[in-house]
Amino acid sequence: MLLVEALRDPASTASLDADGWAALLSMARAEQLIGTLARRLTGLLIPDAVERILDEARVNAEYQRRSALWEADCARRALAGYSGKVVLMKGAAYAAEGLKASEGRHIGDLDIMVARADLPQVEAALLAAGWDWVKEDAYDDAYYRDHMHELPPLIHKERDRMIDVHHTILPLTARPKPDAAGMLADAVMLENGFYVFSPTDMVMHSAAHLFADGELDGGLRNLWDIHCLLMEFNDDSFWSALKSRAEHHQLSHAIYCATRLAHQLYGTEIPKDWRNRHRQDKWYIMRLTARDDWGRGTCKFIRLVFYIRSHWLRMPPLMLLRHLWVKWRKG
Amino acid sequence: MAGPQSPKYIAERADQLLVEPLDAMTLIYQRRSGITHIVAEPVPEILAVMGGDALSAAEVAAWLAAQFDLDATDAEAVVATRLEELAALGLLERVRA
Amino acid sequence: MSVHEFRVKVGPVAFRICSAWKRPIDQLADLYRDYPTPEIPDYSVRLEARSPFRRFIRPSITLGGDYMLPDAAPLPLAQGLLAAEMAMNLQVALGWRRHLLLHASAVEKDGKALIMTGASGSGKSTLAAMLGHKGWRFMGDEFVLIDLVNGEAAPFPRMISLKNEAIGAMQASALDGRFGPLMIGTPKGDIRHLVPARDAIAQIAVSATPALLLFPSFGYEPAVREIGASEVFMRLTQASTNYVALGEAGFTTLTRFIKTVPARAIDYRDGIEAAALVNQLWDELA
């Protein structure tokens, strides 16, 4: 796939003609990786028309970075009276720590994690500081509170920005039960006062997120995060620490599969004995790279399989039926 | 209102703000947030007198009174309200006493 | 999937458009035949069938592209030109970061631009179309692009999208105009496209210095009102889809615009009154 090739080896774009560039840019936009691509291609000799498009992507990525850090700061001020740790997750965390994964990255809603027992206090503080429920809906509300790993989403009334408050990294109904309290305990404070996960837990969350949330939508983006994190944290002790933390959090499967896919797609350096291909890898790769030259999703059947599979993973079968039934009745 | 417990505030650093007076209103662009605020007096004046110091409403009011021929006691209540609003917007930070 | 394709450059913006049907592409190629053809497009637009069936049975167009709205309603095939126009506008509205984007119309004279903005129904599009056939160069009726470095206005003269009464009025006054098919009963009423006059296309890459900003309102006794700078600022931030994303560059560009370009609100009841007010203010202020 053109996009994977360009991210993995930016110099490979030297052979692209006009149609090739058009296809690459549409794929990158569809996967929300255009800002990342722009950063990867910085400094290369590329056609002026493409450079102008990539400059636009750089402006936009800077806007998203600025907004994400500001939202994080607003949440910090709103929670100034809360004594527990408030851990930034995903895009905002990478940006706050200045990690390579944040370079050009698309960042949407703000995700934070706090201790589960403190949710009511955190919720009350955010409501008092101008956030509000996105929707008042008894079913969805009860569903979130009983089964999800986060509060129903809140939106700030003036800034119109969403925040997701998590208390763990996976839905409570998912089979793996990561040790959320352990993740909070190990979270580290940055110089600017924000907390982020420890390096191994950061990779853990990204891998869990890749497989558990959605139908591998945005999977290329997620795997690029994982690729960057692994490249940046890679040292002698990292891989054995990652292995034992993955076992502790019941996420070995996700970690092995994610690192293998990152290796196969982006050429991420991983230990030799982590590289043995599995039979299902090619299905994942097929799903992850299913885009045509106009940015359209292809391989409809594989997408459907992953859609059903993703719901299966998230919920025990009876609950899945109930969920689909209630959603269907409500149209 | 004044007293040892009254909160103090630190203004956003001046190099983070682009200030553009238009008519009765002034535009303030904050670099860190990318947000443009449209404000009326005495907000630009408050931000200007605060500089980089941690000040209470009474102290800000005293500074304003010295510069603009106001009664400091009258000004304090207005200033205290404005400071809370500006803190909510992120243009000031409330400092824990 | 079989694909019909067309490329066109409108002002600084290059598009490629693909369609599951040949007809909309033929119509675009005919109306845009005098426009430049780009090599590498800035944006891709897709006119897609909702399902393989719907390519043939009650064919209806789903709008797609690099940027999409999740809830965009499909349009019947007969409104293919409108679908293409909406999808092209959407790419610019959501993607463009090379200029400050104002949702406005503009015409040019002597290297200076008259910019008109307001809610839909204010008549800004019809006024620009009309002036474009009365000695002004038509620069666009959807977006005006303000340069982030020098403040100049770049044209975006796509097809003029005439609505309802404006169709008859322009058919009467632009006798040599080239029109697209009449589309009846679209979500925006009746629509017919008009190719901008020859000079608008010949000078498609020529910018102009903003010299006057008008906020027209249609349907009231002729009047002119001054507007305070801070109100102009607020209205223009609302008329811009990329002001916030541009950050500091957006702020400096917009404040410079406001401090250098005189602004007035005008009321008018018909084209003759509007033209008289425009000419009077242009002589006074521009």
3-state secondary structure of C91: helix
CB contact under 8 A, C230 and B34: no
Question: Which of C229, C247, C255 has its CB closest to that of B34?
Answer: C247
Q: Do C228 and B23 touch (CB under 8 A)?
A: yes
Burial of A280 (0-12, 13-18, 19+ CB in 10 A): exposed
Report whether A196 contacts A187 (CB < 8 A).
yes
Distance from CA of A183 to the nearest CA of B (A): 29
Domains and CATH numbers, chain A: 2-329 (3.30.460.40)
pLDDT of residue A331: 44
Q: Which residue of B has its CA nearest to A158?
A: B89
**Beta bridge partner(s), residue C145:** C101, C154
CB–CB contact B29 C230 (8 Å): no
Q: Which residue of A has its CA nearest to C92?
A: A56
* Distance of alpha carbon C33 from the chain centroid: 18
Contact C237, B36 (CB under 8 A): yes
* Contact (CB<8Å) A294/C247: no
Q: What is the 3-state secondary structure (H, E, C) of A138-152?
A: HHHHHHHHHHCCECC
State the burial class of residue C44 (Cβ atoms within 10 Å of its Cβ: 0-12, 13-18, 19+).
buried
Q: Are C11 and C70 in contact (CB under 8 A)?
A: no
Q: What CA–CA distances, in Å, run from B63 to B15, B73, B84, B94, C275?
A: 21, 12, 18, 19, 54
* Residue partners of B88: CB distance under 8 A and separation at least 6: A129, A130
For every one of its 331 residues, what pLDDT tens digit does chain A have, with 9 covering 90 and above? 999 999 999 999 999 999 999 999 999 999 999 999 999 999 999 999 999 999 999 999 999 999 999 999 999 999 999 999 999 999 999 999 999 999 999 999 999 999 999 999 999 999 999 999 887 765 667 777 777 778 888 999 989 999 999 999 988 877 889 999 999 999 999 988 889 999 999 999 999 989 875 577 889 999 999 999 999 999 889 999 999 999 999 999 999 999 999 999 999 999 999 998 888 888 889 888 989 888 888 766 666 666 666 666 565 556 666 666 665 555 4
Nearest partner of C99 among C13, C16, C10, C215, judged by Cα? C13
Chain B residues lying within 8 Å of C234, measured CB to CB:
38
pLDDT in tens, C73-132: 889 999 999 999 999 999 999 999 999 999 999 999 999 999 999 887 788 999 999 999
Distances (CA, A) of A315 to A115, A172, C130: 23, 9, 61
The residue count for chain B: 97
DSSP state of A218: T
DSSP-assigned beta bridge partners for residue C226: C264
Intra-chain end-to-end CA distance of chain A, in Å: 37
Question: Which residue, among A282, A112, A93, A105, has the nearest Cα to A190 in the 3D structure?
Answer: A93
> Mutation test of the interface with chain A: which of B16, B30, B35, choosing the one with the most A Cβ atoms within 10 A?
B35
The ipTM estimated for the assembled molecules is 0.92
Domains belonging to chain C, first-starting first, are 4-95 (no CATH), 99-157+196-285 (3.90.228.20)
With CA atoms as reference, the chain B residue closest to C229 would be: B22
Q: Does B4 touch chain C (CB under 8 A)?
A: no
Q: Is the dihedral angle over the CA atoms C254, C259, C262, C265 positive or is it negative? A: positive
